[in-house]
Each structure stands twice: as structure tokens, then as C-alpha cells.
Amino acid sequence: MLEVGELIFREDGTIETTTTSTSTGSPLSDGALIDAYSDHLLLERHLSGHTADAYRADLTSLAIFLARGRIGLLDVSYPILRRWLAHLRTREYARSTVARKTASVRGFYSWAARRGMIEASPAALLAHRAGGSRLPAVLKPLEAGALAEAPAEDSIGLRDRAVLELLYGCGLRVSELSGLDVEDVDPEGGRVRVLGKGGKERMVPMGEPAREAVKRYLREARQAMSPGPGVAGTSRGRTLFFNRRGKRMTPRDVRAMLDGYVRLTLGARNVSPHTLRHSFATHLLEGGADIRVVQELLGHSNLSTTQRYTHVSKGRLFDSYRQSHPRA
């Protein structure tokens, strides 16, 4: 029997429910189902913790909605899911948010069907809604350069310079950067080994600024930032970038560090680590790089994911025309 009803959120982040019987025959509560699916995303699909947390939050919001009607996750039907989507729209969620939540739910029910928990996915007929045509924000080359050159010459600054150069100069995802070990970077050979989504490995070239920044960090700053032998939760000999507590830099650490330099150099701009990745791809295409080369450098499985950067480049062309031509 599946226990459903009100959700109980525990301090460790797990979710339990009150006991109300349903007919699914599954011994798992809604919270346990979400935990199991999260484990699947992390351990079998090798998605990042950040992505798995986003899926968990989306499924939790669905479970809360269903619990009001004393319905369990595995007892849901297609019409109920349609009502849930209508509820999201009345809450005025952005189209992109609704599209992401829909994809999360569709993935969960496909997983449950494959494991025999349900006969068929009730989410299979949900429309694949586009998340809108908003183009990714990018920096101008001079802005990206000023941001990368903003750090000071102390140990923290040398680390930050290397981080920024790798984000912009190599187009790394923030999760890929925070997972780097010393042996993954070869500044002499000008390359970095990256473990991307789905455990897919790729080699990315490092430009001269990134090579020099990484070499200086390794030579002059990493030892000073690495933890002492008694610090728990670290792998001193392997970790590339440490935070101020002597532990591996997390994506949150990187975002907080970037925010400080953005305020210093660009003011009240909304710039994230992914903005630097967008800028990397856009500047390559504007410089004449082949789109399939950019696809490989970014680690995209599908060319369609990379093609959106061609729209950014076209947008820049039209902006330049409007700003420069007297008859525009």
C-alpha cells in the first residue's frame, strides 16, 4: 500500500507522508519515491547534484498539490496532471518554469513505468512546451576580459583569476570546474580534461591567458590555500580549487566569488557562471568557428542545443546594423 496525505518535511531534507491507503500496491511513500528517483538521477544517469535537486523540488511541488486531494504520486492520472499544470499557470509561473516542471514530472513517471511501479506513464501525453525564445545573455569581449582580469595578485586573487579564465576561456559548466582535480589540467600542453553531463569526458583547449593563470595559481597559490593534513572532507593531493575553508570549491562558492567581481567591474549586471559559458560559445561563433566544433567544446550531445548561439550572433549583427548604419 502507498501512504499518501500531508507531507512531513524532516530536518535532513527527506519527505514523509501521513498514512492513507491507496491501491497501487507500492510500499514506498511519496517521499521515498522522490528519494529513489533522485538516487537514480545521481547514480545511474550521473546528473549533477544541482540538477537532481531541481528535479526533487519539482516533484515535491507536485506531491504537495496532490496531497491536498489525498492522492499519491503513483495514483495520479492524466487529467489530474492537467489540473496541476493549470494550477501552475494561475500562479503565474514563467513559461520556462512550467516547461521545466513538466519535463521533471515526465521523466519521473517514465522511470516509474520502466520499473513496473505503474502500468503506463500518465504524463506521456503532456505537451512538450517550449520554454520561450529568450536568448542567453552574453558579455562583450572587453567586458569578459575586464572581469577575468579583476582579481588581485594575492593567493585568493590568483585562484579567482584561474577560475574565471577557465569559465570564460574554456566554456566550462560551473559543476565541471568545481570537480576538476590537479591532474585534469595540463597548462603546458594547453588542455583541460572535463567530466561533463552523463559522465561524458572531453578535452578542451586552454588559451594563453588561461594557461598562464592556471600555471601561476599552481605555482604560487594552491599550496597556501590547500588544507592541512588534519582537515576532514578534503583530498588535498587531487583537488584543484579550494575555498577559504580549505575544502573543494563548490558551485555556490564560484557563484559567490563571481558576484563580487561583477559588482566591481560591471555594476548591477546579472552575470552567472553560465553567462561566461554563453559568452564563450557566442564569441567563438562570431569569430568564425564551425558550429560543430563549438558543440564538441561545450560537450553538447545535440547540435540543436548549440544552434541557439547562432541566434545570439545574429542578434548582435542586427544590433550592430541598427547602431551603425545611418538608414537603419
Pick the CATH number of 141-324 from 1.10.443.10, 3.30.1360.120, 3.40.50.720, 1.10.287.810: 1.10.443.10
What was the pLDDT predicted at 59?
Answer: 93
Q: What is the pTM of this model?
A: 0.61
Question: For 4, what's the count of Cα atoms within 13 Å in the CB-facing half-sphere?
Answer: 25
Three cell numbers written together for 250: 563548490
What is the CB neighbour count within 10 angstroms for residue 33? 23
What was the pLDDT predicted at 125?
Answer: 81
Give, in order, the Cα–Cα distances in Å from 264 to each of 99, 239, 259, 327: 35, 28, 9, 37
Determine the residue type at 39.
D
| Domain boundaries of the chain, sorted by first residue | 7-114, 141-324
Second CATH level (architecture) for the domain 7-114? Orthogonal Bundle (1.10)
Q: Which residues of the chain have pLDDT under 50?
A: 1-25, 131-133, 230-234
Give the whole-angstrom CA distance, residue 62 versus residue 48: 22
Three cell numbers written together for 194: 572535463
DSSP 152-178: -SSHHHHHHHHHHHHHHHH---HHHHH
What was the pLDDT predicted at 18?
Answer: 42
Over residues 14-67, the pLDDT tens digits come to 444 443 333 444 557 888 999 999 999 988 888 878 888 989 999 999 999 999
Give the whole-angstrom CA distance, residue 293 versus residue 279: 15
Hey, which residues are catalytic here?
Answer: 173, 197, 274, 277, 300, 309
Three cell numbers written together for 294: 563549438
What was the pLDDT predicted at 89?
Answer: 83
What was the pLDDT predicted at 213?
Answer: 95
